[in-house]
């Protein structure tokens, strides 16, 4: 089943985040007392500096992470842990917290992707340091991305949650896609803040569907198959772009695309993709070359 990581876009999704916190913290983990309206929130949820990243299974919110940019009213952690003593003068700071994923979906993949998406949000908002009072269960994972542990496990007296304080200097970020996007000036893909996971053998695209996004592969492999058959037209891996033809031709998808391993892709909506090509002639050229190569391949090795 595909899982999508994206920013909560409407009140219904934000409400589902507040209800998910209640389900995870009060019902599954029992670390907080249940409240009558079944929602967990604090004043930072009302500020425009806060956004929620969500993990969606179909359309159900099964995971979330709150991100808050620093401002004159501060960040949530200010109330219970002094991260500021670790920050250099002039640091531009973002706070990640309220991490929760419902039991059946827990594991490294969703946790890491929520955190990575938070770092993509940070980079596009010129943040220099990300602080996170984070669930001890995932603090080790964060070191893979470049976060450093600042202290022993602590208790947030306000929420009653245990956490480990970790800090990411954005100069130390360790992520293939971030480096790839930076080297290839693919910021538009980062700014879509939308990544999707598939399991091996799942369909990513079906021929004949209306296409509204192009995709870049962050991790894993895909197979492009002739519509409705097992005939393989191409395989693609990390860093390669697919799903562009429907957008360029204003027509439906030309082929089936199937995951050939666990797959993580970033999606870019049609208009942002077309704008990206208009603004980056070298990328438009790159796209033309890749389409040219595919055509040549089909003419030389017809299937
Ligand atoms: P789109 O038609 O939007 O969706 C299916 C995608 O498969 C298509 O964009 C291309 O990115 C890719 N594709 C289709 N045909 C080929 C081919 N012959 N070789 C490589 N990739 C292809």
Query: Which region among 43-47, 145-149, 290-294 has the lowest average model confidence (pLDDT)?
Result: 290-294
Ligand 1 atom nearest the C-alpha of 214 is 3
- Contact, 120 vs 193, CB < 8 A? yes
**Which stretches does DSSP call E strand in 29-92?**
50-57, 60-69
CA-closest residue to ligand 1 atom 11:
242
Cβ of 234 less than 6 Å from ligand 1: yes
Cβ of 196 less than 6 Å from ligand 1: no
Residue ranges of domains in the chain: 3-174, 202-300
Closest of 99, 113, 100 to residue 3, by C-alpha: 113
Architecture of domain 3-174: 3-Layer(aba) Sandwich (3.40)
Mean pLDDT value across the chain: 93
Query: Which region among 21-35, 150-164, 242-256 has the lowest average model confidence (pLDDT)?
Result: 150-164
Q: What is the mean pLDDT of residues 178-183?
A: 82
Q: Which element (helix H / strand E) includes 125? A: none
pLDDT of the residue at 303: 74
- Ligand 1 centroid–CA 255 distance in Å is 6
Question: Taking every pair of C-alpha atoms in the chain, what is the biggest distance, in angstroms?
Answer: 68
Tally the residues of the chain. 303
- Ligand 1 centroid–CA 145 distance in Å is 32
pLDDT of the residue at 295: 87
Q: Is the predicted pLDDT of residue 282 greater than 90, yes or no? A: no
Q: 13-17, 105-109, 190-194 — which one is most confidently predicted on average? A: 13-17
To test the pocket of ligand 1, the residue of 254, 256, 269 to mutate (highest count of ligand atoms within 8 Å of its CB) is 254
Which tens digit of pLDDT belongs to each residue from 94-144?
999 999 999 999 988 899 999 999 999 999 999 999 999 999 999 889 999
Closest of 279, 69, 291, 92 to residue 187, by C-alpha: 279
- Contact, 83 vs 77, CB < 8 A? yes
Cβ of 255 less than 6 Å from ligand 1: yes
Q: Is the predicted pLDDT of residue 301 greater than 90, yes or no? A: no
pLDDT band at 186 (very low <50, low <70, confident <90, very high): confident
Comparison of pLDDT for 263 and 188, the residue scoring more? 263
pLDDT of the residue at 252: 97
DSSP secondary-structure letter at 28? I
User: For 202-300, CATH number?
Assistant: 2.60.120.10
Tell me the CA end-to-end span of the chain in Å, nearest whole number: 30
Q: What is the mean pLDDT of residues 19-27?
A: 97
pLDDT of the residue at 237: 96
pLDDT of the residue at 105: 94
Q: Is the predicted pLDDT of residue 283 greater than 90, yes or no? A: no
Ligand 1 atom nearest the C-alpha of 252 is 2
Q: Which element (helix H / strand E) includes 141? A: helix 136-145
Percent of the chain past pLDDT 90, that is, above it, reads: 78
pLDDT of the residue at 257: 98
Question: Residue 35 pairs with which residues in a beta bridge?
Answer: none
Burial 75-90 (b: 16+ CB within 10 A, else e): bbbeebbebeeebeee
The CA distance from 188 to 276, in Å, is 7
pLDDT band at 200 (very low <50, low <70, confident <90, very high): very high
- Contact, 217 vs 189, CB < 8 A? no
- Ligand 1 centroid–CA 242 distance in Å is 6
The CA distance from 233 to 245, in Å, is 14
């Amino acid at each position: 089943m595909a899982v999508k990581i994206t920013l909560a876009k409407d009140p219904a999704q934000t409400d589902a985040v507040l209800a998910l916190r209640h389900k995870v913290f009060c019902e599954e983990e029992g670390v907080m007392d249940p409240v009558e309206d079944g929602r967990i929130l604090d004043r930072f949820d009302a500020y425009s500096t806060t956004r929620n990243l969500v993990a969606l299974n179909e359309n159900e919110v099964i995971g979330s992470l709150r991100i808050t940019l620093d401002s004159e009213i501060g960040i949530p952690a200010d109330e219970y842990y002094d991260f500021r003593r670790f920050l250099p003068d002039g640091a531009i700071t973002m706070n990640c917290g309220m991490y929760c994923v419902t039991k059946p979906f827990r594991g490294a993949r969703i946790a890491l992707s929520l955190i990575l998406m938070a770092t993509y949000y940070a980079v596009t908002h010129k943040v220099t340091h990300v602080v996170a009072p984070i669930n001890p269960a995932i603090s080790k994972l964060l070191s893979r991305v470049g976060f450093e542990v600042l202290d022993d496990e602590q208790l947030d007296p306000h929420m009653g949650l245990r956490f480990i304080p970790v800090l990411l200097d954005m100069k130390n970020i360790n992520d293939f896609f971030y480096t790839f996007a930076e080297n290839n000036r693919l910021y538009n893909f980062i700014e879509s803040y939308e990544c999707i996971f598939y399991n091996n053998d799942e369909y990513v695209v079906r021929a004949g569907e209306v296409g509204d996004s192009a995709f870049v592969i962050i991790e894993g492999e895909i197979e492009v198959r002739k519509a409705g058959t097992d005939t393989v037209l191409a395989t693609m891996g990390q860093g390669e772009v697919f799903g562009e033809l429907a957008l360029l031709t204003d027509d439906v998808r030309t082929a089936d695309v199937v995951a050939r391993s666990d797959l993580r892709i970033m999606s870019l909506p049609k208009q942002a993709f077309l704008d990206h090509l208009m603004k980056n002639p070298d990328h438009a050229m790159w796209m033309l070359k890749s389409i040219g190569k595919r055509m040549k391949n089909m003419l030389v090795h017809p299937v």
